[in-house]
Amino acid sequence: MPVAFKDYYETLGVARTATPEEIKQAFRKLARIHHPDVAKNKTAGEAKFKEINEAYEVLGDPEKRRRYDELGANWQDNGAAQQGPAQGSRRRGARATGAPDFEFDGTGYSDFFESFFGGSRDGYGSFGGAGHGEEQGFDHPGRDVEADIMVTLEEALSGSRRKVTLRRPSADGRGERTDSYNVKIPAGVREGQRIRLAGQGGAGLGSGGSGDLYLRVRLARHPDLSVNGADLNFDLGLAPWEAVLGTTARIPTLDGTTSLKVPAGTAAGSLLRLRGLGLPNGEGGRGDLYATVRIEVPVSITAEERALWEKLSSGSTFKPRRTA
C-alpha cells in the first residue's frame, strides 16, 4: 500500500524557506507545549510530541532536509511514494517489487520516516524465507529485521514498556498477520543501542530458525536538554547584570525544575555543573547536567534604558579589550 507523505514543514508550522534557527525555535516552542509531562491530554500530547520530533529529526539535519526537499518537489509526479529516496536505497521491509513486507506501529516513527529516512543497514532491512526468492528444499535461517524506536529522555532515565505492533506476511504468503510485543525499554539506553526480540524476525526455510527483530534506539529531541553520553546540557541565557552580579536561575531537569546558583562574574561559555542530574551512566549512578552560559543582550531598548547603559559605559572602569 502507498506510504502517506508527511509534510514536516506543516508539522512545525514553518515555511519551506525557514532558516535552521527558525526550525529549531519552532521545534522547541511546540515541544514545550506537547511534551507528555506537561500536555493536558497525555496520550494526545505524546503522539504530537513524536510527530514534532520526527519532523525536527529530518528538517534539523541538513542532509535529511535536502533529501526531503528533493522528494517533496516531485512527490506526485515520479511515484516516489513507492520508490523511496532518489539515491535508490532499498526501502526497509520492501520486496524487490516495492510491496511492503513489514510495517511497525508503536515505535514512535511513521511509515513514511521508516521508508525514506530509516535507511537500510548491512544485514538488515531485507527479509528471507519462503516466498522471497529462496529455493525450496533447503534449510535457511530467517533474516533479521530492524526498525528505529523513538525513546524520550524520560524513558531513558527511568525505563518504560512500549507496545509495538508488527504486521508481516502470513506463513502461506497470501495475507498478513499482526503480532504485538510489550517491549521493555531499559533505564539507561543510549542512542544507537539495539533492543533484541529473539526469533521475531523473518521466517526461516525448512528447519532454519527465524531471525531476530531489533529495535534501534533513537533518543527523542528534548526542548531544553541535549545529550552527551550520560551527561545532559542546557543553554543558560543570562542578562549582562546577572552575569556580573550573580543570580539564582531555575533550570529544567528530567526530575523537574531546580535552582542553580550563578556566581558573580560568570563569563560567557562557562559550564556550571549540577551533579547527578544526567542519565544513567551504567555504573549505578547518573551523569551530570551542565549549564552552558550565554550572555543575552536586548535587541531593542527604551530611552530610559539607553540612558542607564550610557551612564554605566561612562562610569565603568572595566576594559574588555587591551590597548597598545
CATH dotted code for 89-223 = 2.60.260.20
**pLDDT, mean of residues 137-162:** 87
**pLDDT, mean of residues 298-322:** 92
Residue 247 has what pLDDT? Answer: 97
The CATH class of the 234-315 domain is mainly beta
Residue 27 has what pLDDT? Answer: 96
Residue 124 confidence (pLDDT) above 60: no
Q: Which residues does residue 177 pair with via DSSP β-bridges, in sequence order?
A: 168
**pLDDT, mean of residues 78-103:** 41
Residue 19 has what pLDDT? Answer: 96
Residue 85 has what pLDDT? Answer: 40
Q: Which residues does residue 214 pair with via DSSP β-bridges, in sequence order?
A: 146, 196
Residue 137 has what pLDDT? Answer: 54
Provide the pLDDT confidence category of residue 73 given band limits of 50, 70 and 90: low
Residue 187 has what pLDDT? Answer: 93
Q: How many CB atoms lie within 10 A of CB 169?
A: 22
Residue 121 has what pLDDT? Answer: 37
Provide the pLDDT confidence category of residue 193 given band limits of 50, 70 and 90: very high
271-274 and 258-262: which strand pairing? unpaired
Query: 1-80 domain in CATH 3.40.50.2300?
Result: no
**pLDDT, mean of residues 167-185:** 82
> Over the chain, what is the mean pLDDT?
82
pLDDT above 70 covers what percent of the chain? 81
Provide the pLDDT confidence category of residue 134 given band limits of 50, 70 and 90: very low
H-helix or E-strand spanning residue 52: helix 42-59
Sign of the dihedral through C-alpha 213, 202, 164, 4: positive
Provide the pLDDT confidence category of residue 103 given band limits of 50, 70 and 90: confident
Residue 10 confidence (pLDDT) above 80: yes
Provide the pLDDT confidence category of residue 90 given band limits of 50, 70 and 90: very low
Residue 148 confidence (pLDDT) above 70: yes
**pLDDT, mean of residues 137-141:** 72
Residue 95 has what pLDDT? Answer: 30
| Nearest-angstrom CA–CA distance, 244 and 57 | 37
Domain boundaries, the chain: 1-80, 89-223, 234-315
The 3-state secondary structure of 240-301 reads: HHHHHHCEEEEECCECECEEEEECCCCCCCCEEEECCCCCECCCCCECCEEEEEEECCCCCC
**What is the pTM assigned to this prediction?**
0.77
Provide the pLDDT confidence category of residue 86 given band limits of 50, 70 and 90: very low
Residue 82 confidence (pLDDT) above 80: no
Angle between helices 62-73 and 42-59 (to 10 degrees): 90
**89-223 has the same fold as 1-80:** no
Q: What is the pLDDT of residues 23-63, one digit of tens each?
A: 999 999 999 898 877 767 777 778 899 999 999 999 999 99
H-helix or E-strand spanning residue 216: strand 213-219
DSSP string, 113-139: HHHHTS---TT-S---STTTTPPTTS-
Give the cell for residue 171: 506463513
